[in-house]
């Protein structure tokens, strides 16, 4: 499977905001594939298939996170996303709620707010 348009937008934004608009990690985005989306109840995670060696980039290991506003009522009015980079490759991505509330069942495009600036990206 391929990441959804919303996931691709979030991943691209995380890379540009944290690593710059010329980051070689942007070249990995079009190659991202995964076998299954793991639902946890309060979020989900995906583990990407291995990428071609030619796409390896620096920094080798980092974690990029951000919080996004939603159209949903509190406490689901804010969700978080984290992109994991290991060994120079994007390896996994996760979305999660805060306060142990259930992850929305609707498509993210229906409830995420992209036209309002996100809360400052976090670099964990």
Contacts of 67 (CB under 8 A, 6+ apart): 78, 79, 80, 81, 118, 119, 122
Residue ranges per structural domain of the chain: 5-123
Flag whether pLDDT at 38 surpasses 90.
Answer: yes
Model confidence at 123, pLDDT cuts 50, 70, 90, reads very low
Predicted local confidence at residue 124, as pLDDT:
47
* In 71-124, beta strands by DSSP E: 78-86, 89-97, 119-123
In whole angstroms, what is the distance from residue 65 CA to residue 120 CA? 9
Q: Which residue has the tokens 């996760």?
A: 94
d(CA 46, CA 6) in angstroms, rounded, equals 14
Lowest mean pLDDT, pick from 52-61, 63-72, 114-123: 114-123
Stated pTM of the model: 0.91
Please provide the average confidence, as pLDDT, over all residues in the chain.
Answer: 92
Q: Which residue has the higher pLDDT, 118 or 114?
A: 114
């Amino acid at each position: 499977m391929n990441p959804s348009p919303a996931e691709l937008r979030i991943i691209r934004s995380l890379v540009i905001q944290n690593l710059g608009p010329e980051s070689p990690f942007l070249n990995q985005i079009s190659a991202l594939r995964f076998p299954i989306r793991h639902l946890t109840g309060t979020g989900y995670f995906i583990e990407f298939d291995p990428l071609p060696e030619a796409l390896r980039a620096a920094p080798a290991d980092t974690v990029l996170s951000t919080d996004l506003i939603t159209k949903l009522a509190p406490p689901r009015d804010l969700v978080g996303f984290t992109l994991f980079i290991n060994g120079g490759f994007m390896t996994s991505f996760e979305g999660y709620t805060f306060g142990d509330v259930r992850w929305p069942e609707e498509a993210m495009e229906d409830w995420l707010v992209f036209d309002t600036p996100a809360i400052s990206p976090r670099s964990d």
